Amino acid sequence: MIVFRCWTVFVLSVALTAAESAAPSTDHTAISTTTATTATTATTATIATTINTAEEAVALATARNDLIRASAQQVAAAHFRADGLTGFVLPQVTVGADGGVAGGTRNRDYDEGIGNVTQLGAEATITQYLFGFGRLRAARRNSAASIAGAEADADAVRRDIAYRAHIALAEVWLARELVAIATHRVEQRREEQSDAQASRDIGITDGLDVAASEIAVVNAEEQLALATSAESIALEALAEVVNLPVDQLRVGGTLTRPAAVTDALSALPLLVDAGSDLGRLRANRQLAASRARGERANRLPVLSAFAGGDLRGDTVDDVDDGWAAGIRVDWHVFDGGTGRAAANAAEADALAVASQIAALRRQRLAQAAQLNDRAADLARRIAMKERIQALSQTLYQEVRQRYEAGTEPLLRVNEANLTAFEAAYAVANLTYQEVVLAAELQRFHE
């Protein structure tokens, strides 16, 4: 896109330079203004984004949506927090220093009459975790569960944004299909008005048919206005999902039956145990179980090694040093039952999440069956409505011909027109429902 923009400006510059050479008296300010305006127009044209398919809408939404970016940052934060959970296994180094003024009878220089003297000190300690009866394993599982939970949440956010983009595009397609149907009906109503006027002119009918046909035209135009307004609203909704100004968004494609529904339905039994929602619950169960293990491990001894040294003296040139190293065992023998209560609570949380997983799995089984039933029902209804649409169009044409011949009243024309309109609307609406079903199948997979 950048290359195209630069090439456009380059070609325009060359053309204007040639024109300036041919006409030396040309106004340079006008040329500069024209060049800038044309370049700006070309730049604006390249900014517009076109969406032709549901895949393109999903890709654009997931690339630009702020919630997707937020979920990615939450995954990064989960990784950082996970690193902190296992940091205790690395060497823990503590360094300190102090300085002050000392005096009084306990000061070794007091008898010499020196009075207050400085005291300086510095120390350093290093502690290394050696063994903690399951603390490290629990921390690692806790870290993995935290990351898995954040990633499942991010997958769920992406799934929901993709679903919204798919539905928003389908609503634009539906709105445009209804605009086309309403436009065609306005044309038919105007033709009917011409038929009524011609019938009146030759004395077949009176002026009532002309008035009735004019009312029908106005009603059809109102329906067209409503459909056009609905299309604008649908475009604005799609622009919000993909995070683009509506004037920079172009939508192609038409409302057609999705082709991948059969394949998606065949994969449903294999995907009952999949999905980001179940992934999040499984991560929560692992997190609760690891917390329970960690709480039980905290009630057991911790073995560590330590080493350290210090410097003490009145002046920098007169200090004493010392050091120590060894093995240390720490054991919180009794904590009033706090640790046991925390472990029991974590185990109860794990059992609760296990029940939630079982309930969600049953829900997904039922949802899979419902999706299958809806797909079969929509396929049958679309086939029937398409046949009705074809028959109603034929009927409408025949009734109009008979009206022109004076053998059918205008009322029959109106009835046939309404039947054809309702059939076209039903086919469009059912096709939209099948596109929504395809989006729900994709959402079920994720």
pLDDT of residue 156: 92
| Neighbour-count burial for 238-260, b at 16+ CB within 10 Å, e otherwise | bbebbebeeeebebebebeebee
Looking up tokens 């393109």 gives 56
| DSSP letter for each residue of 139-199 | HHHHHHHHHHHHHHHHHHHHHHHHHHHHHHHHHHHHHHHHHHHHHHHHHHHHHHHHHHHHH
The structure's pTM equals: 0.77
pLDDT of residue 40: 43
Which of 24-33, 210-219, 263-272, 363-372 is the least confident region?
24-33
* 265-288: pLDDT as tens digits: 888 888 888 888 999 999 999 989
pLDDT of residue 240: 94
- Look at residue 401 and tell me whether its pLDDT is greater than 50: yes
* 107-138: pLDDT as tens digits: 555 555 555 567 788 999 999 988 888 888 88
pLDDT of residue 113: 53
Which of 11-25, 243-257, 308-322, 329-343 is the least confident region?
11-25
